[in-house]
Chains A and B, each alone.
Chain A
Amino acid sequence: MARLNALNVERAKELIGHYPRPKSATIPLCHLAQEQDGFVTQEAMTHVAELVGCTPAEVYGTASFYEMFKFQSVGKYLVGVCTNISCMILGGDELLEHAEKKLGVRTGSTTSDGLFTLEEMECLAACTEAPCLQVNYRYRERVTHDQFDQLVDELRAGKHTNEIPAHGTVARVRQSIPSDRRASKDVF
């Protein structure tokens, strides 16, 4: 439950500087907020509004349009199983049903230990590798039920943390434009 911390304010200012108009940084800043707290808090949205120069309602209006932004706590691992057409005809629904049993929760819910949230996903652009899923937006392809069980057991045992950061972090590499390489200001 927090506003952006000092480090993220610095990052936010850098991101805002990438755009001709500050409001364009709304989505990137909401990602920063979600990275910091695991979901986008009201305090963070108010802070984002101050930074980009609009109202908190406008930030919420934008953020609430997009599936990836969560407004309440979710599991450390967001498990998203694709059931769209290419996955559906190759076992996507069965995989999701199996995931519900393995995790002991219905789609859309979080396990009681706070480790996993299960979601049904729309097409993830891995159609030739059906059925597929993502854990915090990292792909697993042609997933069998046994492989799913193994993945969950390994995540519970604390494996894969190098590859899969906690929910909220999407890309771990940030773009940084060195000030001496930046295009001349007149473009803004």
Chain B
Amino acid sequence: MPQTTKMITSRFDQPDSFTLSGYERTGGYRALRKALAMEPAAVIEEVKAATLLGRGGAGFPCGTKWGFLPPTVFPRYLVVNGDESEPGTYKDRLLMELDPHQLIEGVLICSWAIKAKQAFLYCRGEMALAQERLAQALNDAYAAGYIGKNIMGTGWDLDVVLHWGAGAYIVGEETALIESLEGNRGMPRLKPPFFPASKGLYMQPTVVNNVETLANLPWIVNNGASAFTAIGDPKAPGTRMFALSGHVNRPGVYEVDFGTTTFREMFEDPSLGGGIRNGGKVKAFIPGGASAPWFFEEHLDMALHPGPVGAAGSMLGSGAIVVFDETTDMVKAAWRIVKFFAKESCGKCSPCREGTNWLEKIYRRILDGHGRPEDIDLLMDVADNISPGLAWPPRQTTICPLGPSAASPIMSSVRRFRHEYEAYVNRGGGAT
């Protein structure tokens, strides 16, 4: 049986989970009180000790990231990345819609720890309900004295500003998010030389954290780092929310103990995926969002743990698992993901801007029955120009990982299902 602790989804079944009264009644803002009684440095130490890995995609330890801020430079900012748009990913929206105060309390704890006086909550533009719930929650938290001037009598001031985007996947990349927040086109910044920790928003020290990452902080402060590391795997402690979609009987968003549950349990356990639809078998699955290379049958008994998943050549990314059963057309599946990256390329770097669009055109030709035998290797060749070596972790000829991400579905599907590409090419004649 997979272990499931309800750490950050504990209020999801509660009808008033998104209200201040519902949050306070279930222990809300207790962690803030406790954190404010600690020195900021002690809060950072606690989070470091918890080994809270970032839940946005890169999986970088959260406390370590905070530690990169230059100690004497102020003001500094916290920017919350709520621009969830990686295909397959569905968790941050739930956290914002169903438990906005938990996120706000996390924002407060982080801001106190890093000594910020202003935080920006960047919510994806298309998420109207999440924006409404966050706006109401912020208004209520200001009125209750949790945010604003002289928070809970400590003399510390913090403004939390809700900001929402207007539709652009790339803005989920942290430097593009900062550009967008400054009122610009959401194009990533070249790094090095500057990383957000030293020069981020308005060229000031900035922490960019994902929604789910921050939502963990109240629990960690309330229960302590050792209680947190006791759940899940010691190297990947706590829980994680996974969106399980595709050809399973019970698609859903599941919070499971991190690093211990296997893919097979995730797909088959009656309380989780409940098996493959129509009693079928797994043909392939995406373990961590559209950017991740695909996994297959032989990976089913691997734990959802960043260590082994990374060693096997993929990632857990943003906690997005998409399951393909045997009926799935793998060429078409790969095309759809490549089409997404082609559309969302911001246009700053040539290999991505040109490459992803050429790749999409080649796919369309193959799917339309006009593919040439050499097109299959051409796909791999163009992908190799964006991500040399087609290896994992991907190498980049671009500023950000968007372009190299388009190589993932291509190399996965061509290497494993080359015969499906060949069938398309040999069939010819406009078959779809």
Using known A-B contacts A61-B185, A183-B157, determine if residue A123 contacts B165 with beta carbons closer than 8 Å. Answer: no
Most chain A CB inside 10 Å of its own CB: which residue of B86, B184, B344, B346: B184
Residues of B within 8 A of A5 (CB): none
Do residues B87 and A187 form an inter-chain contact, with CB atoms below 8 A?
no
A72 within 8 A of B: no
B290 CB, nearest partner CB in chain A, Å: 6
Do residues A127 and B328 form an inter-chain contact, with CB atoms below 8 A?
no
Do residues A171 and B89 form an inter-chain contact, with CB atoms below 8 A?
no
The stretch that binds B, out of A14-22, A98-106, A110-118, A147-155, is A14-22
B351 within 8 A of A: no
Residues of B within 8 A of A55 (CB): none
Q: Mark A118-139, 1 if CB is under 8 A from B, else 0.
A: 0001111111111000101111
B200 CB, nearest partner CB in chain A, Å: 13
Contact of B243 among A124, A128, A139, A175 (CB under 8 A): A128
Do residues A27 and B88 form an inter-chain contact, with CB atoms below 8 A?
no
Using known A-B contacts A23-B182, A170-B131, A175-B135, determine if residue A123 contacts B251 with beta carbons closer than 8 Å. Answer: no
Using known A-B contacts A126-B90, A175-B135, A181-B142, determine if residue A89 contacts B186 with beta carbons closer than 8 Å. Answer: no
Say what secondary structure dominates the interface of chain B: mixed
Do residues A182 and B243 form an inter-chain contact, with CB atoms below 8 A?
no
**A129-188 interface (Cβ within 8 A of B):** 129-130, 134, 136-139, 170-178, 180-184, 187
Do residues B202 and A20 form an inter-chain contact, with CB atoms below 8 A?
yes
B346 CB, nearest partner CB in chain A, Å: 8
Residues of A within 8 A of B143 (CB): 178, 181
- A187 to B340 alpha-carbon distance, docked (Å): 40
| Residue of B with least CB distance to A142 | B251
Residues of B within 8 A of A126 (CB): 90, 93
- A30 to B91 alpha-carbon distance, docked (Å): 28
Contact of B245 among A28, A130, A134 (CB under 8 A): A130
Contact of B93 among A23, A125, A184 (CB under 8 A): A125
Do residues B246 and A90 form an inter-chain contact, with CB atoms below 8 A?
yes
- A66 to B328 alpha-carbon distance, docked (Å): 32
A25 CB, nearest partner CB in chain B, Å: 7
Do residues B89 and A25 form an inter-chain contact, with CB atoms below 8 A?
no
Do residues B87 and A123 form an inter-chain contact, with CB atoms below 8 A?
yes
B356 CB, nearest partner CB in chain A, Å: 14
Using known A-B contacts A84-B340, A138-B129, determine if residue A31 contacts B90 with beta carbons closer than 8 Å. Answer: no
Residues of B within 8 A of A20 (CB): 75, 118, 202
Contact of A125 among B90, B136, B167, B181 (CB under 8 A): B90
Do residues A85 and B322 form an inter-chain contact, with CB atoms below 8 A?
yes
Contact of B185 among A62, A68, A138 (CB under 8 A): A62
Do residues A19 and B161 form an inter-chain contact, with CB atoms below 8 A?
yes
Q: Nearest 10 pairs between A and B by C-beta?
A: A67-B167, A66-B166, A181-B148, A26-B183, A183-B157, A171-B131, A23-B183, A127-B245, A68-B167, A65-B185
11 further A-B contacts with Cβ under 8 Å, apart from A66-B166, A178-B143, are: A23-B182, A68-B125, A68-B165, A83-B336, A85-B88, A123-B89, A125-B84, A171-B132, A177-B142, A182-B148, A183-B117
A-B contact pairs, 16 of them (CB 8 A): A24-B181, A27-B165, A68-B167, A85-B286, A86-B245, A90-B247, A122-B85, A127-B88, A127-B90, A127-B320, A128-B252, A130-B246, A170-B164, A177-B142, A181-B147, A182-B159
**Which residues of A line the B interface, CB within 8 A?**
18-21, 23-28, 30-31, 52, 54, 61-63, 65-69, 83-86, 88-90, 121-130, 134, 136-139, 170-178, 180-184, 187
